[in-house]
Structure 1
């Protein structure tokens, strides 16, 4: 089959690779109908990342939807022809955390992310093997389009996870730092959770303009702290979502939050020695949360919101390319090319 494979920094190739096969009785093979590139995939593209696995020549990607083509003998709930969402990570499906949908804390150590290395090849491919398929795959419900389902596999789930970790309460002043697709999805998410005023920070004017259309108060980073200080009369933000992962933006989040406020970090930071401002956080009594989402844990809440039209994550899809154009897709996203937010790739 054909797939996008990592061959070193800034070197993604459209390769021929072996077709995936069933390796366990609980495996499911899925023909990929659409996949997309996550911002965290760019860490692999650059050659390193917080969870990067050394090696080259492996399939990348962890956001996809498709159709079941084959199931192992131990699979009970899925049949060939089923349309499914493939979440970014998989778990064992039987421990207490997995049974709550909390894949990221699989107690049996089975948690793996697609496309970080050879152990679990990614989904930017014509087909993918999904371990523990009964648990890890989600049927695409009626009233949910392919594009919407694709956004639920990671991006919208991450926005929901980050906002939920921020403990947004009715009327809160909420700040979002970083207006990639996830940060932009967080605007409507925060509204649903009850946020009052929403400030949105990004250096790219095009993205700030989108945030304004969604009802947020946009601003560039260099003006952000003083603007929020002025608008809140020195109280600062109740809750802050950091969706970049840079040292500077995490520090900004901690400075921008009020005393006894909450900072939620969903950006991936590559610095193993991040200089956390412990003194400031201690004196302000800040609650600091960081982590990655388990998409199945969010689907019970997100699917109805998408079906009702209250969340429209598909609106951030700007670009559609063939799998054979994958290298160009990565180049565009890495360069933050004008007009490019979320790219859907079709095998």
Structure 2
């Protein structure tokens, strides 16, 4: 099959790779119809990956149809249309049984791999086929009324944005700032309004992203001093800030943008092991601070219902559709942030 592989910093290539096999009697193989490029894939693309491996397939967002299924998998059959959540669970530990896949006890101990496309251990889904372990936990049937574009955003970006808004405890009437308006941030904007926000301020240095956020109802922060602009507009700061980048500067901005007694929810993937939080300032401000990784499977029941009912529009963050054969150019485009790029989805048939 063809798959997009990581070769070196800023170098990826679509090559022929070995077809995946059933992991075991509990696994499945999915033929991918649509794959997404996630902002966190850029960590790997730029050479700051999660393993020293090279030559493995990238990607952790996919929808498709079941191609093969293990003998001990119940409730799934060949031909079923499914989405492949980015979070990968073991099915057996206490956390996974409650749907909190990001807390998988076996992944914490290194006995299982928590995500696709980080190494050869669990090859990614920007390919024609992807192997899925523990299929009952790690595949979700797609309602027929949902498009592939909606479904692929629901594999990661939409649940993460929702998780960030939910962890920020947004309640009706709250004012909210979303820092970082990539696909996750744009979904956080939508989530904030669904949860009852009275106003959502969108912060991003890229004008096209601010414009997309504005089309979703956000107030784009155009100032070179976003903290000052937000404080001036709200009389001292927003109730909740959702940080969707993972950089030190954006986390600091989120902390400074909330009012006294405000709440900060960090969902941007950070590789900084020593963030310099000013604890005394946070304490004096009575700041609530939440940070974590999304358990996609836990969030999906609500999001599938909200999408089917028209309350959420995951496909609104999709800006480009490209064939898998042009995936290397797609990565360059995502990294450049040019041409109004937000979410690129790949078609493995092309």
TM range (shorter): over 0.9
Question: Residues 232-284 of structure 1: CA distance to partner in whole angstroms, max 9, x if unpaired?
Answer: 222x1111000111111111111111222110011122222221222211211
Aligned counterparts of 2:248 and 2:278: Cα–Cα separation in 1 = 11
Structure 1, gaps ≥5 residues long: none
CA contact (8 A) 1:89 1:111 kept: no
Determine the structure 2 residue equivalent to 1:339. Answer: 340
CA contact (8 A) 1:104 1:111 kept: no
Deviation at 1:96, TM superposition (A): 2.3
Matches within 5 A, 1:1-347: 1-49=1-49, 52-109=50-107, 110-220=112-222, 222-234=224-236, 236-347=237-348
Residues 23 and 230 (structure 1 numbering): CA distance in 2 closer, same or farther, change over 3 Å?
A: closer
Secondary structure of the structure 2 residue equivalent to 1:188: helix
Write out the 4+ residue segments of structure 1 that deviate beyond 6 Å after TM superposition.
none
Output the aligned Cα RMSD: 1.2
TM-score (norm 1): 0.96
Deviation at 1:325, TM superposition (A): 0.7
Secondary structure of the structure 2 residue equivalent to 1:58: coil
Aligned counterparts of 1:4 and 1:191: Cα–Cα separation in 2 = 36
Aligned counterparts of 1:135 and 1:91: Cα–Cα separation in 2 = 7
Secondary structure of the structure 1 residue equivalent to 2:226: helix
Deviation at 1:23, TM superposition (A): 2.9
Aligned counterparts of 1:206 and 1:73: Cα–Cα separation in 2 = 48
TM-score (norm 2): 0.96
Secondary structure of the structure 2 residue equivalent to 1:292: coil
Secondary structure of the structure 1 residue equivalent to 2:144: coil
Aligned counterparts of 1:340 and 1:210: Cα–Cα separation in 2 = 10
Q: Larger deviation: 312-321 or 325-334?
A: 312-321
Secondary structure of the structure 1 residue equivalent to 2:254: helix
CA contact (8 A) 2:66 2:81 kept: yes
Aligned counterparts of 2:163 and 2:327: Cα–Cα separation in 1 = 28
Aligned counterparts of 1:89 and 1:215: Cα–Cα separation in 2 = 29
Deviation at 1:94, TM superposition (A): 2.2
Q: Larger deviation: 268-277 or 199-208?
A: 268-277
Deviation at 1:111, TM superposition (A): 4.8
Structure 2, gaps ≥5 residues long: none
Equivalent pairs counted in the alignment come to 344
